[in-house]
Every structure is written in C-alpha cells, then in structure tokens.
Amino acid sequence: MTKKTTIKDIADKLEVSPSSVSRALTNEPGVSDDLRERVFDAASRLNYIPNSSAKSLKTSRSKTVGLIVSDIRNPFFLDFMSGVERVLFPREYKFIVCNTGEDRKKEEIYIKWLIGQGVEGILSSPYQDGSNENNALLYRRAMKNNIPVVFYDRLLKEIKVIDSVTLDNRQAIMNGVMYLRECGHERIGICLHRRGIYTIEERYAGFLKACEILRIEVIEDWIIDDATDPVEASKRLKMILGRAHRPTALISTNQYINELLLRVARELKLSVPGELSLMGFDDLSLNDLVDPPITTIRQPVSDMGKIAATLLMGRIDGDSVDRSTVVLKAELLKRESVSVLSGP
Amino acid sequence: MTKKTTIKDIADKLEVSPSSVSRALTNEPGVSDDLRERVFDAASRLNYIPNSSAKSLKTSRSKTVGLIVSDIRNPFFLDFMSGVERVLFPREYKFIVCNTGEDRKKEEIYIKWLIGQGVEGILSSPYQDGSNENNALLYRRAMKNNIPVVFYDRLLKEIKVIDSVTLDNRQAIMNGVMYLRECGHERIGICLHRRGIYTIEERYAGFLKACEILRIEVIEDWIIDDATDPVEASKRLKMILGRAHRPTALISTNQYINELLLRVARELKLSVPGELSLMGFDDLSLNDLVDPPITTIRQPVSDMGKIAATLLMGRIDGDSVDRSTVVLKAELLKRESVSVLSGP
DNA sequence: TTGTAAGCGTTATCAA
DNA sequence: TTGATAACGCTTACAA
C-alpha cells in the first residue's frame, strides 16, 4: 500500500511551497507559467489526485448534489437519472443517489447525510404518507443552510418556497378518462398504487374530477386504493372482475400496476380489450410489444430530469428569481388495450 | 441563511471542550453519562449535522463506496443497485453512482474523483473496448491506495488480483443453444450488442463453442456484431431475414436486443415463433406479458449486487483471504418464443 | 472524566 | 511571483 500523493509531496519534490502548488493546480493567477507547467508535470508523474474532503472542507463547495429517489427499482428513475446526468456531467457535477424506498426515516437519514457531505444542492421526490408525515422541516433546514432543493415528481404542499418539476397529473388522468368515455366506457375503475403519495393523490383527484364532469358514476368498490401488496390487490381485482356488474375499463397509476392489471386479466382469462379495457400509466418501451399493446399515459421523464437539474444548477449559480414550478404535460399513447364500445 | 452548527458550537454552549463533545457524539468511552446526555440534547436542539468532509479528512473513513455502472439506462442496474443497497444501508454505507455510458474517459474521470472523494471501496463493471483500451492502471492504483475494488458483471482480464462476481456467460449461451437444438433448430443466428465488451465476448464464445460441440454450422452473415445503432442493426437483420436461406432462430445478448429482435420480426410480419424463434437475454418482468412471451436467459442480478457488495464490505473490514471470483449460473426461462421444429 | 493541542489536505490572506 | 501561516471541522494522543 502506497500513500496518496498530496500537494505537499509535489511541493517538496519541486522545492516550492504548497501554496504555489495549489495556485498552479487550481489555475489561479499569480504563478509563473514555468512553475505551473512543472507543477502539472510533477502532479501527473506522482499520480496526484486532489483530496475532495479537504477541498470541500476548506471551500465548502463540493461539486456534488444529492438525488433522493423514492424507489430505485422503478424504471422511472432510469430515465430521470439519465436526464439529470446529462446536465450535471458537463458541468463537472457529480450526484449521489439516495434510495428511500418510501421510508420517511430513511429519507431523513439521507438528507442529513447529504447535508453533512456538503452537497451543493438536493434533487428530491419527497415522501409523504397518508398521515401527512414528511420531512418538510429538513428540506427547510437545507434551504436555510444555503443548500437549494428542487422537488421533482412529487411536492410537499406545505412548502411554498422550493422549485419543482412535476407532471400535470390531474389533467393526465382526466384526458385518459375522457378518451375512455369517447370510446364508450362508462364503467371505469382505477387502481391506485398507494394513498398519500402526491402523484397518486393527484391522479385520483383527476379521476374523480373527470367522472364528475362526464357524469360517470364513481363506484367505491372499483377503486383499489392500495396495491403495494400485489397479492392482496390481485385478490380484490379478481373479486371485482368476477361479478356480473363489473367495470369495462380499468385505469392504472404506474408501471407496476400496468403489469398487475395485465396479469390479473390473463389469470381470469378475460380478453383485453374485448372484455376489459386497460389504460396504463408510465411507458416502458416494452409496453407496445405486450399483448395487446397497452394504451398508456406517458410522462416526459427524461425532460423532467433535465429540467430539475437545470433549475438546481441555476440556484447553485445564485439565481435569485422567484420560485419556479414547472408543470409538464403527459401524452396519451393510443394503442390497442382499449376497445370501442358500440351500444350501451 | 444560517450557519451550520459545528462541534465547537455545542462545546461553547455547554461550556466544555470540543473533544469531549466529539467523544460523546461518537460514542467513545471516557465521557460521563451526564455529559453525553447533555451533548446529545444540545446537538439535537442545535440541529447539529456532522461534517463528513472534516470527519473523513481526519479519519480517512467515509462510509461511502463508489458504484461504477456502464449504462444507467439498462434495467440490469435497477436490480443490481437494489441488491447492493440492501447490504450497504444496514451497515450505514452510502454509495455514489457513476454512470460511464461505455466511455473510457468518463470512467477514468469518475475513478479519480471517487478516489479523491475518499471512498472506502469501489464496485465496478469496467469498460474495455475492442482495442483493449481500459482503465486497469487506475484500478490498480486504487488497490494500491488501499481502496478495495470488486468487479461485477465484467472483468478486466489483465487484472488477477481483484475480486469479482460474474455470470457464467458461456454456459448460459451454451445452454440456450442446446435448448434450441433440442427443439430442432440448426440454423441459428446471434445478435451481439457490441464487440469488445467482456460479457458480450463471453456470450459469443459460448455460442461458437456450442455450435462446435453440436456441429451446428456457424454462418458469419448471421452474426450481427454491433447493435449499438438500432437502425443499422435492424437493416442488417431485415436483410438476413429477407433471404430464402435464413436462420430459424435468433439469440439475443441483452434486453435492448430482445426488443430490437421482436420489433424487426413484427415489421417483417414474421410470426414468432412460427416462422422465427427468439431467445432473449436478461429478464424484465414484462418479458412474459409480451406477445409471444419470450424465452429468456435470466441472470440473478439482484444476487449479483448483494454478493458484490458483501465481498466489498469484507475487504473494507480487512478480510485478507485470497481473491474471490464468484461465478453465478443463469437460468433458462422457457416460454413461448421458441418453436419445436418437426422435420428438417 | 475532561481539556489541550496537533494535524488530516486544502485554500486564502498577508507579507516578502 | 512566491512563501508563511491560519483556518475549515473533526479526531486523538497525551496531559491534567
């Protein structure tokens, strides 16, 4: 095991002072070209790698941001992260991924750790459960400590000072319901992933609103309000679909549910869309290779990532514009899992 | 903007020395229960968050590891990361995700940055292109600096001292080819994602080996050796499949290719598996909802993550056992995209 | 049990 | 243009 090279090693080797080496390395003015060159040369020969702990301790700038994700297994984050990375990397910012797994405590641990790490900003999809428990306090504290936060995908309603990028979830579902209505569907159910989560609540609200406008009767029983346990959710779904009076169309609220719905339909040997229409949420490229290709509400996820990262970079650069709340539009990909009903 | 609370603030408030506060906070012995309690109390009232830069500068332990991934958009990493996270989080280790996007230069930048960050270990799926360019030197340097490295998914052949977890890629493809042979297929093509990549080369070698053993003729023309550009690859595939003498079965080497193959078959209106059999690689849960459900070679990805992380933790704890090279077995999920050919 | 002081690797201020 | 020195926030001998 060799010791790591430090500025001091370079200084000793060149018989100059550490401060000159530092100046040379950071491209500060006030170093002769000759010395600068010799420093760079020695640095590369000695395999010098700057110690970011020391650097960030001294300058309190770490070129690092935190990315808090609610569930890393959700394909959503693949696209989101790649959007984020595309804006961060060219600016030499790195990001630390923190997976909270929808656990408030974990989120808390991570926020504190990120602040302690000296990140210059935080991108977060915050957690909030049915009982309104959340980490608003911690996000406020980060802001107070001059660490800008940008929320993406989800909001914390009580915080009115944090930039955000979200989807127009209500409108997205409303468009979906309207499309179903156009296709003749009046018996519509919805499968919510989990109550309390911002996006899910918004999507649910959009559903209710659309039903109201279109005078579609909302059947309590056709609303699955928790699909975190797929086995339980399947059971309920099967019960609902097993009855004579059953929905002709089901709306999903994320990619997990898309699959769940499809599987249940298969198990029940219900033909899709013949006997049951399905509308998905979140598009995976496989969704149109599925049997049948699923009509899906698609979010511009990668754009969301780029915008969130861009907002954050702006704040780090000291933009003092008003709070930005970007709301993106969803797109309805009409494929074949929704049937056109002829008569009533 | 408020200033962050430091140990010194707590010390001042309590009128004790910073060292006592430090001892209390880190649960070191030699502090009275009374003082410890008061310290914790003050820390929480002052919203104290330890500064990890200072801590890691001093102790050179950061409780952080680096995770280098070759392409963050590959669903593989979802499962892999969640496996990693499951072993790291309980041990209070965090991980920094570095996406190299199959770019040697980016990988280099990240490795250096990780070392500079003071990570205690690195999990990496290293890049190596056709011309054998890679960052072996840097990984060696990390090891020399006492930063253990564990390779997963891919290896660098010239490095014989680094722990690894990989799939038995050759056997995986060999089993696939054997299965095709059992089903009566003798005209088999393969679509490689990109030459030079360790896993792809291994899978290709497995293919050749199986063909040799089973006396299957290898038709050069039926080997797509670069599918990084899907448009180009589609064209070639269409040419091959458009001819009278064409393969009856095609093997894929990752999830991207699975989709590509399926799409091409659709465009050509070739029925699968009637006119063309398809064997996928890497399983996505959607693969069995696709039309037709795809027979797929599945890797135990999440296990790979757990094992890689466990090996790394072991090294960090100072295990000085010999190099571990864990090789995992793939599983062949027989679904419906492979037909059984009756006669010749 | 508590305090003092040095030092981790940098950068920034000031003086030479 | 260069060098000495202090400081960032923390830990850790060692002394009290």
Q: Does A205 touch chain B (CB under 8 A)?
A: no
Q: How many other CB atoms are found less than 10 A from the CB of residue B324? A: 16
Residues 6+ apart with CB under 8 A from B44: none
Q: Does the pLDDT at position A1 exceed 70?
A: no
| pLDDT, tens digit (0-9, with 9 covering 90-100), for A267-279 | 999 999 999 999 9
Contact B53 A51 (CB under 8 A): no
Q: Does the pLDDT at position A311 exceed 80?
A: yes
Q: Return the structure tokens found at A331.
A: 């797109």
Q: Does the pLDDT at position B2 exceed 90?
A: no
- pLDDT band, very low/low/confident/very high, at B90 (cuts 50, 70, 90): very high
Q: Does B99 touch chain A (CB under 8 A)?
A: yes
- pLDDT band, very low/low/confident/very high, at A343 (cuts 50, 70, 90): low
As a whole number of angstroms, the distance between CA B286 and CA B293 comes to 9
Contact A1 B52 (CB under 8 A): no
- Greatest Cα pair distance, chain A, in angstroms, is 91
A58 touches strand C (CB under 7 A): yes
As a whole number of angstroms, the distance between CA B282 and CA B290 comes to 14
Q: Does the pLDDT at position B1 exceed 70?
A: no
Contact A82 B95 (CB under 8 A): no
Q: Does the pLDDT at position A2 exceed 80?
A: no
Q: Does B97 touch chain A (CB under 8 A)?
A: yes
Q: Does the pLDDT at position B173 exceed 90?
A: yes
- Residue A126: phi, psi to the nearest 5? -75, 155
Contact B75 A78 (CB under 8 A): yes
Arithmetic mean of pLDDT over chain B: 94
Q: Does the pLDDT at position B88 exceed 80?
A: yes
Q: Which CATH architecture has domain B169-299?
A: 3-Layer(aba) Sandwich (3.40)
Nearest Cα residue in chain B from A255: B286
A256 membership: H or E segment, kind and range: helix A255-267
Q: Does A292 touch chain B (CB under 8 A)?
A: yes
Å between A74 CA and nearest CA of chain B: 8
| Average confidence (pLDDT) over A208-220 | 97
Domain boundaries, chain A: 7-50, 63-167+301-329, 169-299
Q: Does A52 touch chain B (CB under 8 A)?
A: yes
Counting one residue from chain A and one from chain B, the pairs whose CB atoms sit within 8 A come to 132
Contact B289 A285 (CB under 8 A): no
Q: How many other CB atoms are found less than 10 A from the CB of residue A29? A: 5
| Average confidence (pLDDT) over A191-195 | 94
Distance A23 CA to D1 C1' (A): 11
Query: For A163-252, where are the alpha helices, taking DSSP H only?
Result: 169-182, 198-213, 230-242
Note the pLDDT of residue A321: 87
* C-alpha dihedral sign at B66, B69, B72, B78: negative
Note the pLDDT of residue B132: 84
Note the pLDDT of residue A265: 96
- The answer to whether B59 touches A53, Cβ cutoff 8 Å, is no
Å between A55 CA and nearest CA of chain B: 9
B12 touches strand D (CB under 7 A): no
Mutation to test the A interface, candidates B60, B87, B286, most A Cβ within 10 Å = B286
Please write down the long-range contacts of B313-322, taking CB distance under 8 Å and 24 or more positions apart. B313/B87, B313/B88, B313/B91, B313/B93, B313/B121, B315/B121, B315/B148, B315/B150, B315/B163, B316/B65, B316/B120, B316/B121, B316/B148
Nearest-Å Rg of the Cα atoms of chain A is 26
- Residue B276: phi, psi to the nearest 5? -145, 130
B14 touches strand C (CB under 7 A): no
pLDDT > 70 in chain A, percent: 99
As a whole number of angstroms, the distance between CA B237 and CA B262 comes to 11
Arithmetic mean of pLDDT over chain A: 94
Note the pLDDT of residue B343: 55
- Residue B67: phi, psi to the nearest 5? -125, 110
- Residue B190: phi, psi to the nearest 5? -140, 145
Contact A116 B290 (CB under 8 A): no
Mutation to test the A interface, candidates B53, B84, B96, B111, most A Cβ within 10 Å = B53
Distance A29 CA to D7 C1' (A): 22
Listed residue (A310, A82, A75, A69) closest to B69, CA to CA: A82
Q: Which CATH architecture has domain B7-50?
A: Orthogonal Bundle (1.10)
- The answer to whether B188 touches B211, Cβ cutoff 8 Å, is yes
Note the pLDDT of residue B321: 87
Å between B293 CA and nearest CA of chain A: 9
| pLDDT, tens digit (0-9, with 9 covering 90-100), for B205-228 | 999 999 999 999 999 999 999 999
Measuring alpha carbon to C1', the residue closest to nucleotide C2 is: B20
SS3 content of chain A, % helix, strand, coil (to 5): 45, 15, 40
Q: How many other CB atoms are found less than 10 A from the CB of residue A181? A: 18
| Average confidence (pLDDT) over A268-293 | 94
What does DSSP assign to residue B44?
Answer: H
Note the pLDDT of residue B5: 93
Note the pLDDT of residue B161: 94
In the sheet that B188-191 helps form, which strands lie side by side, from edge to edge? B223-224, B188-191, B249-252, B277-281, B295-298, B331-333
Contact A291 B292 (CB under 8 A): yes
Domain A63-167+301-329 has CATH 3.20.20.70: no
Note the pLDDT of residue B318: 87
Q: Does B77 touch chain A (CB under 8 A)?
A: yes
Chain A residues in contact with B107 (beta carbon < 8 A): none
Q: Does the pLDDT at position B344 exceed 90?
A: no
Q: Does A1 touch chain B (CB under 8 A)?
A: yes
Distance B59 CA to C6 C1' (A): 14
Mutation to test the B interface, candidates A56, A71, A117, most B Cβ within 10 Å = A117
A54 touches strand D (CB under 7 A): yes
pTM (2 decimals)? Answer: 0.93
As a whole number of angstroms, the distance between CA A81 and CA A89 comes to 12
* C-alpha dihedral sign at B116, B120, B125, B128: positive
- Pairing of β B277-281 and β B295-298: parallel
Chain B residues in contact with A81 (beta carbon < 8 A): 72, 97, 99
| pLDDT, tens digit (0-9, with 9 covering 90-100), for B278-297 | 999 999 999 999 989 999 99
Q: Is A335 helix (H, G, I), strand (E, B) or coil?
A: coil
Listed residue (A118, A34, A87, A62) closest to A309, CA to CA: A87
CA trace torsion A261, A264, A269, A274 (10° rounding): -20
A52 touches strand D (CB under 7 A): no
Q: Does B19 touch chain A (CB under 8 A)?
A: no
Q: Does the pLDDT at position B275 exceed 70?
A: yes
Residue A250 pairs with which residues in a beta bridge? A189, A278
Chain B residues in contact with A56 (beta carbon < 8 A): 53
- The answer to whether B147 touches B121, Cβ cutoff 8 Å, is yes
| pLDDT, tens digit (0-9, with 9 covering 90-100), for B222-250 | 999 999 999 999 999 999 999 999 999 99
Query: For chain B, where are the alpha helices, taking DSSP H only?
Result: 7-14, 18-25, 33-45, 52-59, 76-88, 104-117, 136-144, 169-182, 198-213, 230-242, 255-267, 301-316
| pLDDT, tens digit (0-9, with 9 covering 90-100), for A9-52 | 999 999 999 999 999 999 988 899 999 999 999 999 999 999 99
Q: Look up residue B24 and give its amino acid.
A: A
Give how far Cα A247 sits from Cα of A25, A179, B155, Å: 68, 16, 53
Q: Does the pLDDT at position B112 exceed 80?
A: yes
Q: Does A90 touch chain B (CB under 8 A)?
A: no
Residues 6+ apart with CB under 8 A from A145: A115, B1, B2, B4
Q: Does the pLDDT at position A334 exceed 60?
A: yes
- Please determine whether the domains at A7-50 and A169-299 fall in the same fold group of CATH: no
Give how far Cα A16 sits from Cα of A30, A33, A34, A36, Å: 14, 14, 13, 11
Q: Does A259 touch chain B (CB under 8 A)?
A: yes
* C-alpha dihedral sign at A23, A25, A28, A29: positive
Q: Return the structure tokens found at A131.
A: 């009982």
